Structure 1
Amino acid sequence: MFTSHGPSVRELAVQALSSVERGYDLLAPKFDHTPFRTPDRVLDAVEEALAEREGSFGAGLDLCCGTGAGIGMLRRLCRERVTGVDLSAGMLAEAERAYGNGGTGGPGGPGGPGRAGDAPVDFVRADARDLPPALSDAYDLVVSFGAFGHFLPAERPALFSGAYAALREGGLFAFPIGAPIPPSSPVWWAVAGFDAAMRVRNAVWRPPFVMYYRTFPPSGVLADLRTAGFAVETVPLEPFGRLPSGAPRWRLVLARKAGQPRRAPVREGAAE
């Protein structure tokens, strides 16, 4: 699962005994060489679905951006600017190294800002449950990948309210979510065992490290999004196939902020 460039067992143990923030600061330089980074096939499937349904966007925000796996996708979808937000200074440093000014994904390129693919990138260190007021009403698209296990169910309302506040009217909060795992699956027992171990760890060790796999069920998540004020729908991510029942293995959650629809999408080559 890990490459020779990834963290050692000792490094992972030190991370696991740290706080979430400190743990990711330590892991950041090697994070992209672990299986914890969001796979490109997930990012590609989400990008394709958003582009087909929405065209391009104005400004985009990656909530809990980590080392920036989703930033390149946002730059291809957004015309104005892209912002990455994360609590870990170490993870943000890696993201800025890759996508900030002078980085391989940084601003610039043919046509300059104003066309999808050329949006400038900035990064903000903040808690996703308490976003700074400067980010309010500023974005047309908010995405998040692989971070929701760090939030307990009681924290979801603050998380979703922050995403809602960051969006302009008609803006979209989008993220992938997997189908519930049946108890008959070995994967169910693996994630249940991991969650149980984390609960024991947090009961006997401080500071806590919040990371669970079964605290983000689709039914509860969709209900909390609607309570936050979103109009919610889901669409299948067909590249991941379907279960024997016919249900999609993965869906893209599309939560839209109530209000006037955002400006009609501008597609590549369309007249401004």
Structure 2
Amino acid sequence: MVAEPLFRVGLPPLLKWAGGKRWLVKHLLPYWSKHRDRLFVEPFVGGMGVTLGLRPKSALLNDTNPHLINFYQWVRRGLQISIPMVYEREFYLDYRKRFNQLIREKRANTAEAAALFYYLNRTGYNGLCRFNASGEFNVPFGKYKTVNYQTDFSGYREVFRDWEFKTGDFSELAIDPDAFVYADPPYDVEFTQYSPGGFSWNDQVRLVEYLEKHRGPVIISNQLTDRIHELYTKAGYAIIVLPAPRRISCDGNRQDALEVLAFKNI
């Protein structure tokens, strides 16, 4: 009996997340399959579509969003959601208010905050994760035909057991020199927001410099732009270009996009 490819049997992402790269798993799998015994590192884990698709045994996963990482950490600890999961505007507004109260009270690292974050992500508009200048979640209620919620994450807990979660700038990660690194930084576009300060061109360059001396396999994905292509090529990466699913621009229009995969030490 032939085993199912990993990208078919991998667990689906728990969260809705803008810019998810689940569609790239089938393209990354041939490269990862040669190195599957290595530590897998993802400095911009986001919705975790790639990591869940590839299913490494051990992983180091990072993101600048502390609420996202808090949710993943509580899933690993055995998060059981006890709050009512009801798709109604009134519930959403009440839960958003409570979540923001926890943020103000410096209790955003609790299991309650993790459960509320999950509900808000599944119920809010387009799966957006957005905060105002005061650090409060301000995504409006989303309008859907149906919303599917989970309250038991035991299947994910087992997978997460040997995965480590960090929150902070990618440059703060101490990476094993032989680790397999997959980096999916925010796209090289003007409206991209990585953190309150955004993710600038200098940050794109800084990422390449950070990975320059890494001796293990490295793959970077990004939207294809002339300067991204030049940056990766000059740094010694091999390049392939793929058609990407249509993305929604900042003005709401759907645009065709090309994705670049940059490889080093593969």
TM-score by length of structure 2 reads 0.49
